[in-house]
Structure 1
């Protein structure tokens, strides 16, 4: 069949017109359906909270705290001082007068001024935040805001300024309680930090960089954040900067759930991580500060460390928990109760110890004189001891002894340790019986961190009395798994997990 060019073109034009008409009809028919579907499934929206109501109620309770300190007055040129000290005060200690390189100008002594006492002047020391917890003028803030201050001034949001006195401070929890002479103030309601959850909204009000009544918001990033300090912190991403310290952390009910205390930063400014002291811990301290002006805490007299997974496996614990006793103070409640170095304290006063840092808090908040059960793990068994809590005292610094043993027969083991008997004088001073002194540490033991001068007290559940027993016990261990070696170094005792070479 033959088609001319004109006939072919006309045919194609008719086909294209027909296809276009069909497509248009299909689009017209489907458009209402699409529109109807979109109308039935609207995009989800999330409304952000409005904080203005919370801030309006809480703002009058938050105060600015400024402190001053008294310092000696610099008196350049007087009292025999270098007259160019004034320039060095501004330009640095290396400043030299023109024409006198490498040396200082001669001192110009003024005898008539030599007998004068140095004058003092008052200078600004720092700025922080705080908040009222009562209508009669009790103010909560951080201890580091007011420590070493000569005078403390509290300024309210309506511009009134009061001179404050310190009721009491507690350096360990970084809490300070102040009092001003005023009535009819607006206190903040105290919340319950045990109800906090990660992801909840919180607000901070304070004076970052001296800019009072500044409000910032964020969420709770973590709860019970352990930083190695005495307290577990509330971690948030609320913008907190220098000057916010001592200000309140509020929940959406306008209640205080914490005191903003620290920031984690490489620059000194906000980097997304701020820490607040839980208000429950704070109020326990406040009760004692109001009543006595100081905080009394319990103690049992042990030094403790972490139980690692390797150590837990080596000594037969089902999981890494509790507090590993590294040292027991002499004449302490723990010594009287029978606690020994190497024990793992699992429970105190019937409360489980998930992390080693839980124990100091539990003991610290226990009233001195309390008799409490103490569950410990020792040589593969759980024991229950009874300890009478004493009042905490300043820590004692134990002197470390460097052993200089006489020449003794040396014994070696498969663990890579060469050992000798422990001198009797060393045993007496350290209050230990038996053990072996490490003369050389190689192989598996050396890799695990055991060093020359350490004293090995036990292998797994076997106490070591002499080198012969040490070699015998080391020869019987199961080399397919980690071995627990109880080591005394100075005044510290620690379990070390040694993995024998296969």
Structure 2
């Protein structure tokens, strides 16, 4: 199976297609959509009390900490602060007692964000993280344990006793990469490794050995009828083992029919091992992430080889790389090439690697390898009409969500609810989603993000990776600059929608969406509703759809109509434009933009 990408970012079209009805303006009708200011003005203590009582003290604290300290009318709101802290501390103690270290880390981060270190001073974040790693090993989630260790810890963070404990876990898990890293650390520190470690590492695997750790992912979708004739409907992809219990990584789009609620047909998942056997072994989906196009599946086999993730690899154009997969069902196919470029933004979260390794239908989900054999990416897509233009998901993003995949079900991401624009090393706010934490703390278009939890960010994808590691409900401190000065607030992260731009279409008026959709800030001159509306452009952001269409500040645009074709991921807008760049000659065009935007955090 192969995910085809349309590489054009702009659609300038001169035809129309049938479309769904236009949503009306957004109306707040639920507690979650109430702005903080509305709650505080109403002094809705019952609302805040209910959040505390129902186990959401972090959301309550977001409201409480937004109450102005210099206004006595909010004193009753601020008086709830100790109660909310007490409830959060209670949840923290319970998480520690139940060894739910992931939840404990989330609450730990929340206390840090609001400066209440006294509630967590008996244990460090490093200690909590190591307990989390050990608990994952104990649950048999070895791949997740290694990923969490790589994300949060270093060997220098552990004392000798903890290093030995980690070594024993890795020996049992038979995961070569981190064990080799630990052995190298021992050599550097003149420490002695366990003899089992030395024996395990004595044999160096080659790429032939590694093929034994790959599988062909085979999805049987029954019979497809075309023109009255039935054809077998089969999906083929690749995958690779990441632990001794038979967990396999692949792409979501390879196995989507197994879990997609909109798919109503027959679907059965199997894998074929790399040996000569054609036996189809039943497999099941454990967890999946639509946005990153990653899935974790499992089968009841003993892997002959277990792949390791690269720890600190920073890819660079020209780096030699390899891929193993089953193009066209031809298993054990090893191809090689190089990294073409970095930071291609093809998904709504994170960057992708562009590679020139030969990739064909059936390669999707296979490992992209460093010459050392460590996994540096997950092959996922290509442009069929352009040979040698293919893409892979960086292993850093995969490691960020691996614990979520092991947990099972669809991965839930957290978000702040703001769309950003990179400008001269700064992150400018393009748009704020109604009802989101960003809207509730007062972020507005044109504001500039200064820091998140005390750290400065220059790239959207870096900030997205920060949120990939955070659970919903975690408190984070946001500092930003407005036209009136610096501001700071604490936000409780919400669940990220599957498609933030589509969510905004359902929630907000179209005028407010012109900036995130097309990159043009406009004021309505005349007209009502969403048809035959005249706009004056106040600003056009460089590199956006409006900019590429030749529009600029000062131009006039008459919106004839806009459409979101049913079941599509594009939005089309028919306009009459008088562009200064075109000598103010009136032109009738239809421009389009993808809704799968990659600038939301």
TM-score over 0.5 for the pair:
yes
Partner of 1:350: 454
CA distance 1:300–1:450, change in 2 (3 Å): farther
Partner of 1:216: 335
1:234 to 349, 353, 373: 353
How far apart are residue 205 of structure 1 and its match?
A: 0.5
1:141 to 234, 250, 272: 250
1:172 to 274, 291, 302: 291
Deviations 1:150-177 (A, max 9, x none): 0111111112431111111110110011
How far apart are residue 143 of structure 1 and its match?
A: 0.4
How far apart are residue 380 of structure 1 and its match?
A: 6.7
How far apart are residue 231 of structure 1 and its match?
A: 2.0
Taking the TM superposition and a 5 Å limit, the aligned residue runs for 1:64-463 are 64-71=216-223, 86=228, 123-149=232-258, 150-158=267-275, 159=277, 160-192=279-311, 194-227=313-346, 229-266=348-385, 271-302=387-418, 304-308=419-423, 319-330=424-435, 332-379=436-483, 381-393=485-497, 395=500, 396=503, 397-400=506-509, 441=536, 447-448=552-553, 451=556
State the distance in 2 between where 1:282 and 1:329 align.
Answer: 30
Partner secondary structure for residue 283 of structure 1 = helix
How far apart are residue 393 of structure 1 and its match?
A: 4.1
CA distance 1:73–1:219, change in 2 (3 Å): closer
State the distance in 2 between where 1:139 and 1:444 align.
Answer: 48
State the distance in 1 between where 2:523 and 2:374 align.
Answer: 63
Deviations 1:233-275 (A, max 9, x none): 12222111111110001111111111111113425xxx22221
CA distance 1:67–1:383, change in 2 (3 Å): same
Deviations 1:102-136 (A, max 9, x none): xxxxxxxxxxxxxxxxxxx8933221100111122
State the distance in 1 between where 2:507 and 2:313 align.
Answer: 39
CA distance 1:283–1:361, change in 2 (3 Å): closer
Q: In the alignment, is the contact (CA less than 8 A) between 2:243 and 2:306 conserved in 1?
A: yes
User: Alpha carbon RMSD of aligned pairs, Å?
Assistant: 3.5
How far apart are residue 220 of structure 1 and its match?
A: 2.0
Alignment of 1:55 onto 2:207: yes
Deviations 1:408-438 (A, max 9, x none): xxxxxxxxx9998x99x99xxxxxxxxxxx9
Q: In the alignment, is the contact (CA less than 8 A) between 1:348 and 1:362 conserved in 2?
A: no
Partner secondary structure for residue 398 of structure 2 = helix
Higher helix proportion:
2
Partner of 1:462: none
CA distance 1:205–1:400, change in 2 (3 Å): same
State the distance in 2 between where 1:213 and 1:419 align.
Answer: 59
Deviations 1:318-360 (A, max 9, x none): x352142323423x32233221232222432333332344444
How far apart are residue 210 of structure 1 and its match?
A: 1.8
Q: In the alignment, is the contact (CA less than 8 A) between 1:262 and 1:276 conserved in 2?
A: yes
Q: In the alignment, is the contact (CA less than 8 A) between 1:65 and 1:154 conserved in 2?
A: yes
State the distance in 2 between where 1:338 and 1:178 align.
Answer: 42
How far apart are residue 307 of structure 1 and its match?
A: 4.2
Q: What TM-score do the two structures reach when normalised by structure 1? A: 0.56
Partner of 1:478: none
CA distance 1:290–1:53, change in 2 (3 Å): closer
Bigger Rg, which one: 1
State the distance in 2 between where 1:166 and 1:280 align.
Answer: 22
CA distance 1:179–1:306, change in 2 (3 Å): same
| Greater displacement, 363-372 / 249-258 | 363-372
State the distance in 2 between where 1:371 and 1:134 align.
Answer: 33
State the distance in 1 between where 2:538 and 2:377 align.
Answer: 50
State the distance in 2 between where 1:210 and 1:181 align.
Answer: 22
Deviations 1:18-74 (A, max 9, x none): xxxxxxxxxxxxxxxxxxxxxxxxxxxxxxxxxx96312211001111111134768
Partner secondary structure for residue 56 of structure 1 = helix
**Per chain length, whose mean CA-contact separation is higher, i.e. which structure has more relative contact order (CA < 8 Å, sep 6+)?**
2
CA distance 1:124–1:298, change in 2 (3 Å): same
CA distance 1:228–1:260, change in 2 (3 Å): closer
Partner secondary structure for residue 280 of structure 1 = helix
